Every structure is written in structure tokens, then in C-alpha cells.
Amino acid sequence: MTQTFAVQHDIAVSIEHGLQIRESNLTWLPINTARTASGAWVSLAKLVGEERSHPVPMAPSDTLSNFTVVATQVDLSIAAKLGIGAIFGGTINYNDRAFYLDASAYTDKYTETPGAFVFGTRWGVGLRVLLHVSEIKGGLSLNFGMVGAAVQLGYAKALYEIDGIGIGLDGMQIVLGEIHAVGDFSAETYFKINDSVIPKLAEYLKNNANKLIPQPYQVQVIQPFDSDPITAAKPILFAMRRLNDGCTFNEALEKAAGKYGASEINAVYGKLVPGLGHSEEPSEKARDAAGQWLRDN
């Protein structure tokens, strides 16, 4: 039987540029809300097993007493692993960036089970806006609010995806209005989300409190997904060797043959040779730096 939870009507809106940490020093990570028949997160179960991937339960008496808008960057490999958006699937280039904005009414639940992998679960209803930024010029440093302007000035390209969290298709249509759920992101898109979509969302949540079904949309975990240091180091070692060999990014990806993902090779190439074209050979200086790293480690 599906339970519904009331959303308090005295919602206070706050804007945050960073993750909100409550009652712990762990980072909240966005996660795909899809779950298995047993209630475990599908994407997390693929990484650590279904038994360890259950959200901390929300009690029927709990209310969604907070409303917040959180906009921040998320590691591309984490975004892909946790399946938070279709725009992060497929080939990811090493200088691409991922951002997300969660606008939601929520409550936080924490485990009381010693040794549990999932420490915290954020349950809520609202919207998630995802950005996949590519072709960033000149090593430009970006945050969520700057992406639209960078696109407009020709310094980057960006795709966006908007997903509903517990508000259903009707809620999505009402809240989004004329904005499509997927498309090219621009400064105009950003202003529409900020000035129109989020106020409509807050109003919709107030007016439809009894119809909303909270979803577990963010998670805190006790340890990194690649907790085995040997396993975590393998893709770094592979990419450093390819860089030292003078491989282009595309050649390194081809040699990985699916064993390591683009986002993992991305981390090495992006740090040692930022801005290098996919088919460009690394400089002698970059090759030497990779060689020195290999000798030191």
C-alpha cells in the first residue's frame, strides 16, 4: 500500500549555493529515485548490492517541513554511477562538467544501524534540473548560475534535463509551463527556471500537499563507492600509462575497451592536459609529468 505524507503549508524558501549538511559531515549526493521491488535504489544496488542500498525509512508521521533550492556541481563519474540523468549517459569527454539543482520540500532521515552503508536519506518532492556542460573554452571556472551566460557568450555548450520528484506528470506540466523537459541550456532557460518555474513549484507543493508522494532523492553514504584503494587506483594508473605513451584521449579510451569509463580517464587527462582536443597528442611536458608520476608511485 502506498503511503502519502503531508507537506506543511508554511514553507520557507532559501537559496543555497552548495550542499546543505545537517547532523553529519557527510556530503549529500543526488540519486535516481528508481527502486527495486524490495525498495532498494536500483543504481546503488548495482554498485554495492541490494541489501546495502535501502533508504533510511520515512515514518508516516513525518512531514516535509523544509523547502530549499540547492545548486552545485557534482562529479561526472558519480552522476553516471548514480544514474541521475540520461544526459550523463554515453560518451563523456574529459573536460565536461555536471551540475544539478534540486528545488524541493524535504525531510532528512538518518540510520540508527551501526555499520550501515547508507547513513542518511533525504525524502522529498519537487524538481531536479541537470546540466551537462561541454566544449568549455580556456579552462573557464563555472558554477550553475554562470553556465547560461557562458553558453550565450560562446564559451561553452550545455544540455539540460528537468525531472520531477514525486509530483507526477500533471505537476510537471503545470510547473514547467512552456519550458521543455530536455533541451539546450541558455541564459534565458536559467532565468525562466529561477523566475517562473521555482515559484510555480512552491505554489504547486502548497496546493497539492495531500497528493504528493515523497521520494528518496538524495543519499549520504559512509564510504566512497570505490572503497577498495587498489580497485580505485587501477583506472588512474591505466590513464597515466597511456598519457606517458603519448596516446590521445580517444586512443586511451579505445585501449580501455570498456574496462574503464571515459569519466575515469577524464580525471587524469583533464588535470594534466586541460583543453587538449580528443584527437590531439599530449605535449612532451605532459608525457614527462605522467612518467614522473609513474616513477614516484
Confidence of residue 8 (pLDDT cuts 50, 70, 90): very low
Instruction: Tell me the helix, strand and coil percentages in the chain, rounded to 5.
Output: 35, 25, 40
Q: What is the pLDDT of residues 56-82, one digit of tens each?
A: 999 989 989 888 898 988 888 788 888
Q: What is the pLDDT of residues 221-243, one digit of tens each?
A: 987 655 445 556 778 889 999 99
CA 129, CA 134: separation in Å to the nearest integer?
16
CA 149, CA 90: separation in Å to the nearest integer?
26
109: left (phi over 0), alpha (psi -120 to 50) or beta: beta
Q: What is the pLDDT of residues 171-209, one digit of tens each?
A: 999 899 878 899 999 999 999 998 999 999 999 998 998
**Helix (H, G, I), strand (E, B), or coil: what is residue 244?**
helix
Cα 135 to the center of its chain, rounded Å: 19
CA 128, CA 125: separation in Å to the nearest integer?
10
The predicted pLDDT at position 2 comes to 35
Q: What is the pLDDT of residues 97-124, one digit of tens each?
A: 899 999 999 999 999 888 889 999 999 9
CA 239, CA 267: separation in Å to the nearest integer?
9
Confidence of residue 24 (pLDDT cuts 50, 70, 90): very low
Grid coordinates given for 41: 535504489
